[in-house]
């Protein structure tokens, strides 16, 4: 059972979807803390930020406790339209994507991002199971291990950014628990939102599935 864990980001980049496709279960860490200027509430489209307007100024609170201001659907749809209306695949893909986004309801940030995730999963034909666990009690690496044990993981697919906090000691903990630690070998084409892949590329899935060559 290969598992990946990620916070519910806003229409995230290709590396997010690479991890989802290559996992049996994809855990959405809705209980993690919101970082004020991080990607749970904003994403780059055409190399500039699109940001969801939040109620108040939440910071370092669980993502699933954060509320988004009313009208976010129009804000997001207009931002996408303004950036991509002249894109290669806008006419064939843009209106459908806008319609799906506009149909999403609710005001909770985690719920919104998960709903948008479902939109993208449907468009890409991804069938990986999405899971939300009970709130973990640990922090840091032990938090990850706690969640992995909750969902019965035998293998963990991690982004390479986690190397800094896992290191040798972390590898030992994975070994103790009998969980195989696997690093993502996704090849980055663009750090932009998945929306850029839909609008600019003939086959978004081909970009998502790109791997570093063995001799790179």
**Does the global pTM surpass 0.85?**
yes
Angle at 83 between CA 55 and CA 161, to 5 degrees: 65
Cβ atoms of 214 and 187 closer than 8 Å: no
Q: Are strands 48-51 and 42-45 parallel, antiparallel or unpaired?
A: antiparallel
- Give the integer Cα–Cα distance in Å for 112 and 103: 11
- Among 123, 140, 146, residue whose Cα is nearest residue 11: 123
- Give the integer Cα–Cα distance in Å for 56 and 161: 30
- Give the integer Cα–Cα distance in Å for 87 and 208: 19
- 10-residue averages of pLDDT along the chain (216 residues): 97 98 98 90 96 94 97 98 97 98 97 98 97 92 95 95 78 94 96 98 97 68
Q: Is 179 exposed, middle or buried (CB count within 10 Å of its CB: 0-12, 13-18, 19+)?
A: buried
Residue 36 CB neighbour total at 10 angstroms: 12
pLDDT given at position 116? 98
- Give the integer Cα–Cα distance in Å for 43 and 196: 11
- Give the integer Cα–Cα distance in Å for 197 and 12: 11
pLDDT given at position 214? 57
Q: Spell 121-144 as b/e; 16+ CB within 10 A means b.
A: bebbebebeeeebeebeeeebebb
């Amino acid at each position: 059972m290969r598992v990946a864990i990620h916070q519910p980001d806003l229409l995230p980049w290709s590396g997010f979807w690479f991890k989802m496709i290559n996992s049996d279960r994809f855990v959405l860490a809705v209980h993690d803390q919101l970082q004020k200027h991080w990607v749970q509430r904003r994403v780059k489209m055409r190399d500039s930020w699109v940001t969801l307007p939040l109620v108040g100024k939440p910071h370092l609170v669980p993502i699933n406790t954060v509320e988004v201001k009313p009208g976010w659907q129009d804000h997001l749809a207009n931002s996408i339209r303004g950036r991509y209306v002249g894109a290669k695949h806008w006419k064939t893909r843009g209106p459908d994507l806008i319609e799906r986004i506009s149909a999403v309801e609710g005001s909770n940030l985690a719920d919104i991002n998960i709903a948008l995730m479902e939109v993208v999963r449907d468009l890409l034909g991804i069938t990986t199971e999405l899971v939300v666990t009970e709130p973990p009690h640990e922090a840091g690496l032990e938090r990850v291990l706690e969640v992995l044990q909750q969902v019965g993981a035998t293998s963990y697919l991690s982004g390479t950014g986690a190397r800094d906090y896992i290191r040798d000691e972390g590898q030992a903990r994975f070994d103790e628990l009998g969980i195989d630690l696997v690093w993502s070998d996704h090849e980055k084409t663009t750090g932009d939102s998945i929306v850029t892949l839909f609008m600019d590329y003939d086959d978004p899935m081909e970009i998502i599935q790109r791997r570093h060559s063995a001799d790179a």
